[in-house]
Homo-oligomer: A and B are copies of this chain.
Amino acid sequence: MPGRIDARLRELAITLPDAPAPAANYVPFVRSGATVYVSGQISRDANGLVLGRLGADLDVAAGAAAARTCALALIAQARAACGGDLDRIVRVVKLTGFVNSAPGFVDQPKVVNGASDVMVAVFGEAGRHARSAVGVAALPLGVAVEIEAIFEVA
């Protein structure tokens, strides 16, 4: 029985990425009570990692596309945290977006909007979240964007 959010993903022609576990002593998500903390997801699309610095190697549109890939990975991890049933997501509570930024780049919010927009497209009002967006000097493997999330689950 396909769920409501699964149906919405199909309407949006979104295929979630795999939700692999990290090869280290941490895990992709931890549930504590009704709260699921999802580890920082780095920008990655069908061609591999999305690398580079905003304001130097990537423009805002490319950064927003990179942020969207992080959001899809976060949703994939949230689905795993819910035993495959995305309808158990009560709320996207919080996103923290780290944007690999060259000096002088100040459009971090427009970049992270790429993630915020897909959350609302997929979850509707329940996708509206608190958020911080900051620029950082360097990210793992040189990726453009890393985003972590907190979800409330039923």
**A→B interface (CB under 8 Å):** 22, 24-30, 32-35, 37-40, 55, 91, 93-96, 98-99, 101-109, 113, 116-117, 119-120, 127-142, 146, 148, 150, 152
Contacts and interface: CB of A to CB of B under 8 A. Distances in A.
A30 B136 contact: no
Contact of A138 (B24, B108, B119, B152): B108
A26 B26 CA distance: 28
B138 A28 contact: no
B26 A129 contact: yes
B24 A109 contact: yes
A30 B123 CA distance: 15
Contact of A108 (B38, B94, B105, B140): B140
| 9 nearest A-B residue pairs (beta carbon) | A135-B138, A40-B132, A101-B138, A26-B131, A25-B116, A37-B130, A25-B120, A137-B137, A39-B130
17 contacts: A24-B113, A26-B116, A26-B131, A29-B130, A30-B93, A33-B35, A37-B130, A38-B130, A40-B132, A98-B132, A104-B138, A106-B138, A106-B142, A132-B148, A134-B138, A135-B137, A135-B140
